Chain A
């Protein structure tokens, strides 16, 4: 633990570049890149990343950030324009070729193999071997060193990767990237799935790489990260670079306006909220590894937030209420109705519950299918007669969803795979709103979603409860809970440890989440224990 850079501390960050001895050379220059699928995704984008700087790329989902990153990282090719590396045109036709040029990309969708060990994943393309046999001893010692570098020195290198949480996997992916020769590191929303502590470790790593003159292209949606790491901020909007700012101290309103290309929808501030009758009642639920039973109620017109650290049991609670996982005891009912059959999402949906799952790609969407098919999946009975699909009604419903939720797509027949994260999430949300459900369970509804889409989703959730719905929303972002929730329940170690209504401060909630984890030290799971150390 000693070598870990858990104290990000007041290390000097050079925002301006002025204090450096002379101008740093560019590690990469992008000149006039354009790319179009059926519609232009990037139009004449130019930017550069200097050695030792963190160049942050912001933009709404669908603005072209990931496409640009993919082109630089060798995963995609541009229609026109060029990329210069040390003043020479770069031609990387694959991620591997880019890597051999010192360009390392950490993908948004993790590129690891769950059944192999952490160590094997780290060195998959260069396993140490002798006579064709894997040299496990060398492998493990190298893996331990690589993991220590990203603060995962507590992790057993022989653990199958599949047992790790998403945050730890991300760090493993970064550790793997750092093992390679690296002059330009591309990070695509690296903090989207990380806990507070993991983010600190990541930032500390970024600063160390900066000191080694590595240039970093950093894509994020989180405005609060800018002052902490950005040397420069570029904003993409509809495939064009619309603004560039030196340093990370840019007014949030301004960035949001740049990204939205104009107006931003704001959630109506908490106006007179009349809590209606109890809509969702959960009594004595327990299941999985949780030992204690949980009860809670959500009234009509109310959004209740679930706060807590990664692994606090928020996802498990939501899934067990919905019946996605079996539960051992307890009852769930809607509007005082009969208890819903446990372990059956179908029964939950029939009772009027909908869920936005944490992992929308795996649990929510049919990626290769069209927006229309995804949007109407839960409501086919309404868009059919005696089992025959009514195309017109189905199309109308899908188009209605796209309009109401401002889903940016090339039409309802476009596969959802082609949509950005925010627009994908809007499709899932639209599905449930269209299904006429009364209770929505939202698990990290805006993870990996840009600021404008996030505002739309929040506004729709507020409108949903204003119409008499009830929402239970788990989020790791306190700002999100503050923006939309009427009260917040804090979870730790699988139970509720505190409840806040009305006014609350970030410190209070964080303290509650961590206090429990501290007191659970020794008895708690390793993961929580680690979280608590921060």
Chain B
């Protein structure tokens, strides 16, 4: 739900992001440059759409650990369809997204039908889909080349590739879905108290299956973005991506306990994480240091959020 609290949360995140940008601007000579901007614009879309799906799942009280592997699988399917079967992109892209949707549906049916916690179901699917992506691709990177790259080339007037507006569209749509539709309300309600929702006569299973299906499909969309950027499908793509997405979601103010959250917040979370990584890379920070700083920022963000919540709880 978009209200004053939510807007102030988003405002706070924007300030944090601007502070990070300013800091790196001071520290690194070339940080405030077109090159950084382009790097960010290339990397953001995939993580942003995955975080959007993850937000919906987390708001409903679940979690989807399989997104990284599902993305790799979808990429592999895309690569296979284009390179081996010689499908046109217009057919191969929908196939990749459908593959993600199928994986998501599996997650949803197992979680809602067998009442297994989504943590375990999606942990299982994480392994299964990674295996499938190796099987589909023959454990090789599939080169697609020029066919798909235009998607990742900067658009004439915007200066960013088409994937950026596409990702924004996904984020905005997901936010509207969450705050303006009955489905979104059901997700929030289920994340708050599934039992009470069931006893109010609502089919909780349908909403749960749908949200996992969406998350899977969005992993498929992310796969298309990622493949477009590299011009190839890597079966190892997206390793650890689920953790980056969860971090972005949490930094964005969504509670891991479910029942409250926003997709726009998650987008800002993605922005913060990606900017941080880009900035540290420019400073020449080593990989170990990059990871430690990122980890520290995640903890700091969540701690600050918890503190703010407690203060506001004291007030009302």
| Docked CA distance A364–B189 (Å) | 11
Q: What residues of B have a CB within 8 angstroms of the CB of A349 in the complex?
A: 200-201
A346 touches B202 (CB 8 A): yes
Give every chain B residue within 8 A of A357 (Cβ-Cβ).
199
Question: Chain B residue with minimal CB distance to A410?
Answer: B316
State whether B316 touches A362 (Cβ < 8 A): no
B114 vs chain A, min Cβ distance (A)? 16
Q: How far is the CA of A349 from the CA of B199 in the complex (A)?
A: 9
Kindly state the interface size class of chain A when it binds its partner: 20 to 34
> Is B315 interfacial (CB-CB < 8 Å)?
yes
CB of A418 within 8 Å of the partner chain: yes
Question: Within the assembled complex, what's the spacing in Å between the Cα atoms of A418 and B315?
Answer: 12
Binds A, one of B129-137, B157-165, B176-184: B176-184
A363 touches B181 (CB 8 A): no
Is the Cβ of B192 less than 8 Å from the Cβ of A362? no
Q: Which 9 A-B pairs have the closest CB atoms?
A: A349-B201, A366-B192, A378-B200, A377-B200, A346-B201, A380-B182, A384-B182, A366-B193, A387-B181
Q: Does A275 contact B (CB under 8 A)?
A: no
Known contacts A357-B199, A381-B182, A389-B182; A365/B189 CB under 8 A: no
Shortest C-beta distance, A155 to chain B (Å), equals 28
Kindly supply a per-residue 1/0 record for chain A positions 348-370, scoring 1 wherever the CB is within 8 Å of any chain B CB and 0 otherwise: 11100001010000111111110
A431 contacts across to B, CB distance below 8 A: 200
The tally of residues in B whose CB lies under 8 Å from a CB in A reads 25
Q: Is the CB of B200 within 8 A of A418?
A: no
User: How many Å from the CB of A102 to the closest CB on chain B?
Assistant: 27
B186, B196, B315: which contacts A364 (Cβ < 8 A)?
Answer: B196
Residue on A with the closest CB to B205? A346
16 CB contacts below 8 A, A to B, read A324-B198, A345-B199, A345-B201, A355-B199, A364-B199, A365-B193, A366-B259, A368-B260, A369-B189, A369-B192, A369-B259, A380-B186, A387-B183, A389-B184, A389-B185, A413-B3
Q: Which of A365, A368, A378 has the most CB of B within 10 A?
A: A368
**Closest chain A CB from B180 CB (angstroms):** 6
Whole-angstrom distance between the Cβ of B32 and the nearest chain A Cβ: 41
Contact mask for chain A residues 458-470; partner B; CB cutoff 8 A; 1 contact, 0 none: 0000000000000
For B197, what are the chain A residues with a Cβ–Cβ distance below 8 Å? Answer: 366, 377
Contact check, A362 vs B196: say whether CB atoms are below 8 A apart.
yes
Interface residues of A (CB under 8 A from B): 37-38, 322, 324, 345-346, 348-350, 355, 357, 362-369, 373, 377-378, 380-381, 384, 387-389, 413, 418, 431
CB-based contact B201/A348 at 8 Å: yes
CB distance from A233 to the nearest CB of B (A): 31
Distance from B203 Cβ to chain A, minimum over Cβ atoms (Å): 5
Interface string of B240-279 (1 = CB under 8 A from A): 0000000000000000000110000000000000000000
Q: Is B39 among interface residues, defined by CB-CB distance under 8 A?
A: no
Q: Does B188 contact A (CB under 8 A)?
A: yes
Q: Which of B1-42 contact A (CB under 8 A)?
A: 3
A369 touches B182 (CB 8 A): no
The answer to the question of B195 belonging to the interface, with a C-beta cut-off of 8 Å to chain A, is: yes
Question: How far in angstroms is the closest Cβ of chain B from A514?
Answer: 32
What is the bound-complex CA distance between A9 and B186, given in angstroms?
54
User: Once the chains bind, are A368 and B259 in contact (CB under 8 Å)?
Assistant: yes
Q: Give complex CA distance A341, B199 in Å.
A: 14
A365 to B201, CA, bound (A): 13
